[in-house]
Amino acid sequence: MTRMPRPVGPRPSVDAQALAQPRSPATPPVPLIALVAELAVVLASCLVVLRGLAPTYLLTDSFPIGTDSTGHAVGIWIDIANPASILPGGWSGAMFGGYPANQLYPPLANAIAALLASVVPLAVALKLITVLPVVLLPLAAYAAARLASLRGALPPAIAAAMVPFVYDTSCGICGGNISSVIHGEYAYSWGLLFGLLTLGCVDRLLRTGRGPLLTTLLAVAAAWSHPVTAAWVLVGALVLTAFRRREWWPVNRRSVGLSALAATMISALWWLPFLWRHEWMPLLGFSKRTDYFYWLLPASPLWEVTILALSVLGVVTAVRRRQIFLVAVALSSALAGLLFVLIPDGSQLFNLRVLPFWYMGRWILAAVGICLLVDLALSRLAIVTLRPWRAVAASVVILVMSVLIVGTTWGWWAVAVRADSTTSGRSSLLGIEIPPQTVGADEVFAGFESRPDAPALASLRTLLVDAATDLGCGRLAWDIGADSDTGEPTFGDENVLWQTPLWTAGCIAPITGIYVDSSATAPSAFGAASLVSPRLGIELPSIPQYTYDLQVGVERLRTMGVRYYLTQGEAATSEATSLTDQLTRRTSTGSWTLWEVTENSLVSELAHEPVVVSPRVSDGGWDDLTMEYGQSNLYDSVALAQDGPAGWARVAPGLQPPALPTSPAGIHDIETTDDTISFSVAEVGRPVLVRVSAYPGWSVEGAPALYRASPNFYLVVPAQARVTLTHGKTPLDVVAIAAGLTGLALMAAMALTRRKSHN
């Protein structure tokens, strides 16, 4: 038997781990004609979405009107004026007597808008940050499907399925759809955009070990976009990790583990303070929606049967073909529907907030079902000329049907409208009833400048700017009422004065604002505002709204540290004129008059000694206690304290505190900045109330301690003639920043290692 000669030279090395790695089927290259067709479908889907967002007005320098975006403009302005506020420990005096900027509200979307504002006007940046996540959602869905190695007709079909999702008005302010972003709920949509991309990258990383850095960056972007969407991404990533364990554990576990660790540490920059201090967020008190069938199956019976049948077909197809990405979508969608039912009433999370995942999952899976049916139909036809178009045939069907339905709903063309008693105002397409769309982007994005009363708004803006220059800075409350003829809000927006920090460079700041869940002072601020204005721009169950009573209201404004009060019209001006001992007229223009609250001060002496609530009330329960106390006639004269010196009286929660007189401290020389308050006293040892929102990070010099007081201010007992309160970073903030920097360093190390390995 002849032996084969042994090869000469070094023996080739064998990587045992490489041999152990299961082979994933390689994704075949997409033919050029099919790729062009797919991208055309994706582009068409994006353009159809853009069609519903008033593209004519997106680049005009006019702020959106009549939505939460009026207030979000202030959040973007804060990031521009003070970029350091994006880091943990940031503070702003732009609303509520001060609040922790970017700490209890997701920071990424406003930070992106602040960057855009460096090249375009702020109003344009705000509108772009509003529309971009929904316009780009089809592209993100397509990219996620490609990253997850879905082949054939699925990627463009999933992209096309985003069109009916974003136009779905089943829940107008839940998040993710056009109706929601028009109302200013754009952070949620950014979370969906980055979330889809993250899940696609996670799937690719688990299968191939490729793209750990991109996966990390997208995961952080999703985590910083919105807490609810971040939780959805985490669930999807865990499902993918569990189902693909045999693929990533033998070889890719190092890349997967380092990427997950880096993403977690960088995300902790915002999440660690947010989770640790969530008790400082006032409970907004949304009532749980319990009409489950109405919300989970909102369309007509025919539509629901069709969508559910297609979705079930999509799930079966995904399971049989082991399309793990789609299985993760199906499981997270089912979990969202289950959570909608199980989330308890009165929790911090409103159960409507999880519905977008249910809706989006249904549309994606229905698209998969349509792909299967169209593919079967084309196979039966066996027409050779159709073969190059099979990859996009299903997505074209989805897109055409979506345009027909969306165009009918949004009035893009004339249709027959039935007006009988059961379908009043509903359009009919192919025998299917379609509810009309009532919110239009044109009116919102045209902005204040397009209104007939734009000159009056400019005049009011000038009045406040002049007041800031001539009279000085201070907090503002208002009663600008409504148009006497139409009953509509003045300038079309009750909240136009939320933008006063933009007009006055932060000198005059509203006592109310948009970030209601970012300050424990918010409930008291809105309660005071309701006393001096019959019309408020925000209504939440937990926010007290009292009956209009100007005399009581002005006293409450004084308690909240409000300096300026603005009225519109003869009736409001006449009533304010009658309170000569409480209001001083300062300036006016047109029908608006600016008043100054007498004896207002951010630092004040107390007529009565503070009373400590005992046993101690937790940070989370403090605002509930003070809201109840706000009904008391002692609210404006006796301050409740969470803690205090042993000499202060004690009272059980819910009981009336004793009114014990105390001597004045003789306060003078008050100086304030955005995050400091300094003052002098003639007599040390006397209690002093500092009307700045309490929150971790405040420290004091010249007094032994700070004591949280009603409603959410600070009490100090000066030990020196000069006292200074300063807001800075806490040890928790430093830990969060250190975690973020460590995560960035880990990413840099991963990049260097991969570069050396590649070389």
Domain check: are 587 and 665 in the same one?
A: no
Domain check: are 394 and 329 in the same one?
A: yes
Domain enclosing residue 502, as ranges = 451-597
Instruction: Identify the band that residue 25 occupies on the pLDDT scale cut at 50, 70 and 90.
Output: very low
Residue 12 has pLDDT above 60, yes or no: no
User: Angle, to 10 degrees, between the axis of helix 69-81 and the axis of helix 122-135?
Assistant: 110
Domain check: are 187 and 295 in the same one?
A: yes
In whole angstroms, what is the distance from residue 688 CA to residue 59 CA?
Answer: 50
Residue pLDDT, tens place only, 151-179: 888 999 999 999 999 988 788 788 899 98
Domain check: are 238 and 101 in the same one?
A: yes
In this prediction, residue 571 carries a pLDDT of: 83
Cis peptide before 83 (omega within 30 of 0): no
In this prediction, residue 625 carries a pLDDT of: 84
AA identity, residue 555: E
Domain check: are 64 and 208 in the same one?
A: yes
pTM: predicted TM-score of the whole model, two decimal places: 0.90
Domain check: are 634 and 684 in the same one?
A: yes
Domain check: are 118 and 186 in the same one?
A: yes
Domain check: are 538 and 575 in the same one?
A: yes
Q: How many CB atoms lie within 10 A of CB 40?
A: 14
> Alpha helix (H) ranges present in 508-568?
522-532, 550-559
Domain check: are 587 and 621 in the same one?
A: no
Instruction: Identify the band that residue 66 occupies on the pLDDT scale cut at 50, 70 and 90.
Output: confident
Range from 237-241, 459-463, 523-527 carrying the lowest mean pLDDT: 523-527
Whether residue 109 is contained in a domain is answered as yes
Whether residue 74 is contained in a domain is answered as yes
In whole angstroms, what is the distance from residue 311 CA to residue 304 CA?
Answer: 10
Residue pLDDT, tens place only, 301-360: 888 888 899 999 999 999 999 999 999 999 999 999 999 999 988 777 888 899 999 999
Domain check: are 410 and 478 in the same one?
A: no
Segments of 319-450 assigned E as strands: 417-418, 426-429, 432-434
In whole angstroms, what is the distance from residue 341 CA to residue 54 CA?
Answer: 36
Choose one of 404, 434, 464: the last residue of a domain.
434
Choose one of 532, 566, 597: the last residue of a domain.
597
Residue pLDDT, tens place only, 388-407: 567 788 888 888 888 877 77
In this prediction, residue 284 carries a pLDDT of: 76
AA identity, residue 362: R
350's tokens: 């409103």
Domain check: are 589 and 624 in the same one?
A: no
All residues at 6 or more sequence positions from 406 whose CB lies less than 8 Å from its CB, including other chains: 48, 52, 163, 164, 167, 412
In this prediction, residue 196 carries a pLDDT of: 97
Range from 464-473, 523-532, 676-685 carrying the lowest mean pLDDT: 523-532
Classify each residue of 481-501 as buried b or exposed e, where b means 16 or more C-beta atoms within 10 Å of its C-beta. Answer: beeeeeeebbbbbbbbbbbbb
Contact in structure between 685 and 703 (CB atoms under 8 Å) = no
Range from 12-26, 185-199, 466-480, 541-555 carrying the lowest mean pLDDT: 12-26
Whether residue 757 is contained in a domain is answered as no
Residue pLDDT, tens place only, 83-123: 999 999 999 999 999 999 999 999 999 999 999 999 999 99
In whole angstroms, what is the distance from residue 640 CA to residue 629 CA?
Answer: 9
Domain check: are 584 and 607 in the same one?
A: no
Domain total of the chain = 3
Please give the full DSSP string across 564-612, using - where no structure is assigned: EEEEEHHHHHHHHHT-TTTEEEEEEETTEEEEEETT--SEEE-SB--EE
Whether residue 415 is contained in a domain is answered as yes
- For strands 611-613 and 640-641, give the pairing: parallel
Whether residue 232 is contained in a domain is answered as yes
Nearest Cα to Cα of residue 428 among 300, 570, 316, 236: 300
Contact in structure between 660 and 650 (CB atoms under 8 Å) = no
Measured in degrees and rounded to the nearest 5, phi and psi for residue 84 equal: -65, -20
Whether residue 747 is contained in a domain is answered as no
Sheet harboring 426-429: ordered strands across?
A: 417-418, 426-429, 432-434
Choose one of 559, 581, 597: the last residue of a domain.
597
What DSSP designation does 168 have? -
Residue 422 has pLDDT above 70, yes or no: no
Q: How many CB atoms lie within 10 A of CB 745?
A: 12
Whether residue 479 is contained in a domain is answered as yes
What DSSP designation does 593 have? E
Whether residue 621 is contained in a domain is answered as yes
